[in-house]
Structure 1
Amino acid sequence: MPFEFIFHSRAARLALVMTLIVGIALADWKVNADVPFGFAYLLPIVLAGGLLNRWYVVLIAALCALLAELFDGLTWSMPSGITRDFLYVTAFTGIGLFAAEVTARRKAAAAHLRNLNRENHARREAEEQLEHLVESSPVAIVTLDAEGSILLANDAAHRLFGLPAGTLTGTGITPYLPLLANVPHPGEGRQSFRTMMQCKGMRRDGEAFLADVWFSTYPTSAGPRMAAMIVDASEDFRDREQTSLEQLLLGSRILVSAVSHEIRNICGAISVVHENLSRDSTLAHHSDFEALGTLTQALKRIAAMDLRDRSAVITSIDLHSFFEELMILLRPSLQDEEIRAIWTLPEGLPAVLADHHSLMQVFLNLAQNSRRALAGHEGALFSLSAQASAGRVQIAVADNGPGVENPAHLFRPFEHSAKSTGLGLYLSRALLRSFHGNLRYEPSSEGALFIVDLAADPENQA
C-alpha cells in the first residue's frame, strides 16, 4: 500500500484509518445532502483491509455504512433504505475483504520471494564452496555422461592425465580410463553403483599408471551421470611390492639359515664318521671314500655362508597406533570365528625400536596360531596386553585354547609335530632378534601365552 512507505508503524496506520473515517463523517455531516460522501469511506476500508483480520474489516465496513446512512441527509424509507444500507455494507465489506486478500497474498509473495532469494544466495555460496573444493582438491575429479564424455574435470585431473588445463571437457574418458567407460549407467532395471575399483590408466604421452577410482552413478533429468575420483596409486603399489619383496627376502634368508644350520649339524656328524673310517687302512686310500670327504667339506662350507639380513629398517614405532592398525587387520577374521578380543594397552606406553612390517608379521602369525587353536572352542578369547619396565616393553599375546602340548618343541624349524611347516614361530623369533627383540613362550594355567619383548626407544617416550 502507498501509505506503508510513510507510516511504518501499525498503530500509526490504524490511527490514520480512524482519522479518515471521522473526517469523512464530519464532511458528510456538514456538506449539502445533495452531495453524498459515502463513497469516500472506501479509502479507510481499503487501508483497514491491509491491517486487520477479516472480522474487524467487516465491523469497520458496517460502521462506515452506518455513518454514511446517518450523515448523507437522504430520507430513509423501508424499501429504499434497506436496499441502500445493504449496498453500503456489501460494497464496503467486499472492498475491505478484497484489500485484505490482496495484502495477504502480497505479503505471502514477498515472504516467498525473500525465501527464494535466501535459498538462491545459500545455493550460490554452496556451489562456490563446492566448486572451490573440487578445483583445489589434489584428487582428480571428473563427471561423465552416458556416452562417457567428460562434463567436468578439475585441475588435478588434467595434471593426472598430462593435459593442459581445460582441455578434458567434452572429450571421452576411454583413452585415459577404458574400464570406467564400460560401467553400466543407471536406467530401467539397472541399479546405481557406488563403489571403488583399481584399474590401469593412461596419460596423454602413453605412460601407464595404476589408478584407484571411487565412482558413483546416478540419474538426472538430463540423463544418467557418473562422478569419479581418481588417484594415482602407482607409488603405493611400488612401495607395497618393494616391501613384500624385502619381507620375502628376509624370510628366505632366515629360512635358508635354518636349513644351513641343520646341514652343518649333519655335515659335522658325517665328518666325524668319515674321520673314524679313515683310520681303516682299506678305506684310507680309496678314491670314492676320499671323494665323499671332499663333498662333505664342500657342503659344510656352503652351509657356513653368512645369510643373516642386515637391511632391516629399524624405526621408532608408537604402539598405540601400531595396534590400531593390527586390530583393523584382525577384527574381521576374529569376528568370523566368533572370537572375542581384549586389548589392554596402558597410557604412557613408550615407543619401541623395530621394523614395522616385520613386527606386524610377527603379531599376525601369533594371531593366526591362536585362531587355529580356538577353532570351534566355546567362549573363545584372544587377548593382548603390554607393560614397560627397565627400557623394555613386554607384550603378552594369549588365548584360552587347548594350549601347547610340547613347549620344548617350539621355535624349531621343520618340527614334525607342527600342524604346518613349523617355521612360523622360528621366523617370528628370528625377525624380532634382527632388531634386538625376542619371542618366548611362558606356561599358563589356560591356553597359550607368548611374550614379545621389544627394546624401548629412549629418545621417543610416549
Structure 2
Amino acid sequence: MIRWWLKQRPQTVLFAAVLCVTAIALCDWRITFNATLGFLYIFPLAMLGTILRVWQIIGMAIFCMTLSSVLDPFSMDALVPRSILIFLTLATVGLLSRQIATGYRSEMESLTRLQDEVEARKVEIASRLAAEEQLDFLVQSSPAAVFTVSDSGEILIANPATHALLDVPAGSLCGSRIGDYIPELAAVPSVDETTTVYRTEMQTHGRRRNGEVFVANVFFSTYRTPAGPRLAALVVDASEDLREREEASLEQMLTGSHILVAAVSHEIRNVCGAIRVVHENLSRSGILNGNQDFESLGALTKTLARITSLELRRSTGGAAHNTFNAQDVLTDFRIVLERSCAELDITLAWDVPSDLPLVRADRQLLMQILLNLTKNSQFALEGVDDKWISVSARHHGNFIVIAVDDNGPGIPVGRSLFEPLQKGAHTTGLGLYLSRAFARSFHGELRHVPTSKGCSFVLELPLVGRSENSGS
C-alpha cells in the first residue's frame, strides 16, 4: 500500500489522509459501542509518513492520540498508559512508513540512474559501432594502403589497397612480415622499446611480391593496446610522382637551356653584325683587299652569324606554353615564400586579387622568375632592420603586372642589371639575365623600376589573347 501512495502526488496523499482522519473521528464520535477506533489512525499515519518529516509525523501522532483519547468511551483511569500506547503505535507506524518511503525513493533514484547509464551506454555502443563501421568502410574503400603491424613485425590487418600495392592475393597478407615488403617499417621501435611515440612520415622504398621496387610515402604511428604494441601505417605509391617530377625537371632544364642558348645566340649575332659592318667598311676602303686573312675573317663572321640565327630559331620556335590562372601559381609561390621569409625574420606583404584573368606562359619558368627575384631580395636584406618584402599583382591593360619590392639598400645608379655573369653576384650572375630571357620567351617582360629607397622589379605577363597575337 505504501508504494502505491508513493506514486501519488503529495497533495493527493495529504487530502486522503485528512479525509481518513476526519472519517475515523466522526465514526468514533457518533457511533457508540464498547470499543475504540483509535487503532484505525495507523492508516492515515502510514499515508502521511510518505510525505511528512519526522517532527511532522510526531505532531500528527500526538493529534490522533488526542482525538482517540477524547472520543473513546473508556473511563479516565487508564488514560495515560493508553494514550502513550496509542502514541507509540501511531508514531512507530508513521516513522516506519517514512523509512520505507525513503528507502523506496533511494532505490528508485538508483534504478533511474542505472537506467540512464544503461541508455547512455547503449547510445555510446551504438555510436561506437557506427563509427567503427564508418572507419572500416573508409579503410576498406581507401585507395591508399592501410594496415597495422604487431611489435614482432607481423601484419595484423590490411585493406584491399594494401594487397593491390604489394601485388599479393586478397586476404593473404595477414600473418606476413612487413620487413619483406617495406624493410624500414620493420626497423621502427615499438612503444615497449622506447619512450618515444611516433606520429610521423617518411619516404622509403618498398618491394612488391614480384620483386618490383617502388617509392613509398609512409605515414605511420605507434601505440599501445591491451594485446601489445602496435604500428598503424598508411602507404602511398609515389613512383609516378617521382617519374613526373624528374621528367618535369628534365623538361624545365631543357627549356631553360634552349632559352639560354637563344639569348647567347642573340648576343653573338649582335657582335657578328658589328664585326660584319666593320669588315664591310674596310672592304670598301680597299686597304686590305687581297689579304687572305681579312677575307677569311669575313667568311667566318658570316658563317657564325648564320649558325647563331639557325640556333636562335631552333631555340625559340618550339616553345610550348600553357594557359592557366596566374592566381594558382602565385598561391604556390606564396606557400614557398612565406616559410623562407619567416625563417629569415622578414615581413611578407601580400596584395594579390583573387580575380586575375588567364595568362599563357610556362608555369615552371614563371615560378623560377619569382623565386629568383625574392631570393635576390632576401640576400639584399641581410643586416637590414625591420626588413620586408612586398608582392603585389594587378590587371593593367593587356597584361598582369606583378611587382616585387623590398626595403634593402637598393641598386647603384648606372649598374647594368640584366647583363650575364654579373660581378659580385651571390651565385653565377645569370639570375636576372635568365629571368628576363624566360619572361620574354612567353612574350612577357621583366624590368627594374628605380626607387628612392629599396628595390622594385616589375614582371609583365601577357593575357591569353595578347600572347597569342604577339606570337602570331
Q: 1:27 to 1:116 in 2, by over 3 A?
A: farther
Deviation larger for 209-218 or 119-128: 119-128
Aligned to 1:442: 449
What does 1:152-171 align with in structure 2 at a 5 Å threshold?
152-171=157-176
Aligned to 1:180: 185
Residue 402 of structure 1 pairs with residue 409 of structure 2: yes
Question: Which residue identity lines up with residue 378 of structure 1 in the other structure?
Answer: D
State the Cα distance separating 1:128 from its structure 2 match: 2.2
What does 1:90-129 align with in structure 2 at a 5 Å threshold?
90-129=95-134
Q: Is the 8 A contact 1:373 1:401 kept in 2?
A: yes
State the Cα distance separating 1:416 from its structure 2 match: 3.5
Q: Is the 8 A contact 1:398 1:448 kept in 2?
A: yes
Deviations 1:175-228 (A, max 9, x none): 222211211222475111111111112223322211111122222333222222
Question: Which residue identity lines up with residue 436 of structure 1 in the other structure?
Answer: H
Q: 1:104 to 1:179 in 2, by over 3 A?
A: same
Tell me, what secondary structure is at the counterpart of 2:374?
A: helix
The counterpart of 2:361, out of the listed 350, 354, 372, is: 354
What does 1:13-24 align with in structure 2 at a 5 Å threshold?
15=12, 19=16
Tell me, what secondary structure is at the counterpart of 1:174?
A: helix
The counterpart of 1:425, out of the listed 424, 432, 439, is: 432
Aligned to 1:241: 246
Question: Which residue identity lines up with residue 339 of structure 2 in the other structure?
Answer: P
Aligned partners of 1:434 and 1:332: how far apart in 2?
Answer: 30
Aligned to 2:235: 230
Q: Is the 8 A contact 2:45 2:90 kept in 1?
A: no
Deviations 1:240-296 (A, max 9, x none): 111111111122223334444555667778887899899598x849xxx99999988
Aligned partners of 2:268 and 2:95: how far apart in 1?
Answer: 120
Aligned partners of 2:287 and 2:185: how far apart in 1?
Answer: 75
Deviations 1:65-96 (A, max 9, x none): 97599779897654645654554344333222
Counting aligned pairs with the same residue, the percent is: 37
Deviation larger for 61-70 or 90-99: 61-70
Aligned partners of 1:87 and 1:128: how far apart in 2?
Answer: 60
Q: 1:185 to 1:66 in 2, by over 3 A?
A: farther
Q: 1:92 to 1:162 in 2, by over 3 A?
A: same
State the Cα distance separating 1:304 from its structure 2 match: 5.4
Q: 1:19 to 1:124 in 2, by over 3 A?
A: farther
Q: Is the 8 A contact 1:69 1:85 kept in 2?
A: no
Tell me, what secondary structure is at the counterpart of 2:371?
A: helix
Question: Which residue identity lines up with residue 213 of structure 1 in the other structure?
Answer: V
Tell me, what secondary structure is at the counterpart of 1:422?
A: coil
Deviations 1:284-318 (A, max 9, x none): 49xxx999999888777765551515554422222
Deviations 1:366-408 (A, max 9, x none): 1111111111112322122222233222222222222222555
Question: Which residue identity lines up with residue 150 of structure 2 in the other structure?
Answer: D
Q: Is the 8 A contact 2:61 2:91 kept in 1?
A: no
Aligned partners of 1:189 and 1:41: how far apart in 2?
Answer: 74
Aligned-CA RMSD value: 4.2
Aligned to 2:458: 451
For normalisation by structure 2, the TM-score amounts to 0.78
Question: Which residue identity lines up with residue 325 of structure 2 in the other structure?
Answer: D
Q: 1:214 to 1:312 in 2, by over 3 A?
A: farther
Aligned partners of 1:328 and 1:407: how far apart in 2?
Answer: 35
Tell me, what secondary structure is at the counterpart of 2:189?
A: coil
State the Cα distance separating 1:108 from its structure 2 match: 1.8
Question: Which residue identity lines up with residue 308 of structure 1 in the other structure?
Answer: S
For normalisation by structure 1, the TM-score amounts to 0.79
Long gaps (5+) in structure 1: none
Q: 1:193 to 1:98 in 2, by over 3 A?
A: same
Residue 136 of structure 1 pairs with residue 141 of structure 2: yes
Q: 1:105 to 1:69 in 2, by over 3 A?
A: farther
State the Cα distance separating 1:24 from its structure 2 match: 9.8
Tell me, what secondary structure is at the counterpart of 1:415?
A: coil
Aligned to 2:390: 383
Aligned to 2:379: 372
Aligned to 1:323: 330
Aligned to 1:392: 399
Aligned partners of 2:57 and 2:110: how far apart in 1?
Answer: 21
Aligned partners of 1:83 and 1:294: how far apart in 2?
Answer: 143
Long gaps (5+) in structure 2: 467-472
Deviation larger for 214-223 or 429-438: 214-223
